[in-house]
Amino acid sequence: MTVSRDRLLDAFAQVLDPDAFDDYGPNGLQVEGKPQIGKIVSGVTASAAFIDAAIAAGADAIVVHHGLFWRGMDGTVTGWMKQRLQRLLAHDINVLAYHLPLDAHPEWGNNAQLGLHMGWGAGAPLREKSLVFRAELATPYANGQALAEQLQRRLGRTPICINAGCSIRTLAWCTGGAQGYFQKAIDAGVDAFVTGEISEPQAHLARECGVSFIAAGHHATERYGMPALAGHIAGQLGLEHEFIEIDNPA
């Protein structure tokens, strides 16, 4: 079975409402390929390795969290960009990308799916369209170190944990490079905040405010939303779907 590219785009748009977000790059169709689609391949980032794997898998369209184009790029098609686009155009593959709309979705998004994967529940955004999710834990963690150890087991990364000694009953998280949202988590009165990355200020804030900060990996925290969403859309439309993991130590 195949569906039109427009129908596939409409299906994603109905779930994610991408026009509601002021994002760092274009959401939706980034590269136009064949008009009829029978198989979609999902992944985290439209890297050359992922594109090659999708070609080998027979993809008509790829859908990713990190697409090809970002605000501030110079717009030239040279080097690595040329190599990626050359592969895609040669095989007539559509590229769909959804960044912040995927992070924010309360059911299929990266935050919700990370919460379910970790056993915290899907959580709830701090406010409508917020990228920071919060949950009251049914089973508290003894301390931040216990939370970091579970993250390491479930995500396969060694987290950075600051202020590990406090017990954790309320938890906030935001996948990817969301260390700048730590203050919002502190203001929400949580015991710990989990994200993908850490910058210099967060260590001081964690120690001074008594809130655990855990950086568990950008890629590691963002690899659950896209396969869940793409699988859901493919099931609705009767399409074949495959998730391809390209390992990234980040």
Q: Which residues define the annotated binding site? A: 65-66, 103, 218, 222
What is the Cα–Cα distance from 149 to 160, expressed in whole angstroms?
A: 10
Q: Exposed (0-12), middle (13-18) or buried (19+): which is 119, by Cβ within 10 Å?
A: exposed
Binding residues for a divalent metal cation: 65-66, 103, 218, 222
Beta strands (DSSP E) in 59-176 are 61-66, 94-97, 124-125, 133-141, 160-162, 168-173
Residue tagged 């935001």 (tokens): 174
Measured at the alpha carbon of residue 70, what is the angle toward residues 224 and 99, in degrees to the nearest 5? 25
Residue 22: Cβ within 10 Å count = 7
Answer left, alpha or beta for residue 170, where phi above 0 means left and psi between -120 and 50 means alpha: beta
Q: Which amino acid is at 141?
A: Y
Please name which of 193, 169, 27, 2 lies closest in space to residue 95, comparing C-alpha atoms. Answer: 27
Q: Exposed (0-12), middle (13-18) or buried (19+): which is 69, by Cβ within 10 Å?
A: middle
φ, ψ of residue 64 in degrees (nearest 5): -135, 165
Residue tagged 């919700």 (tokens): 112
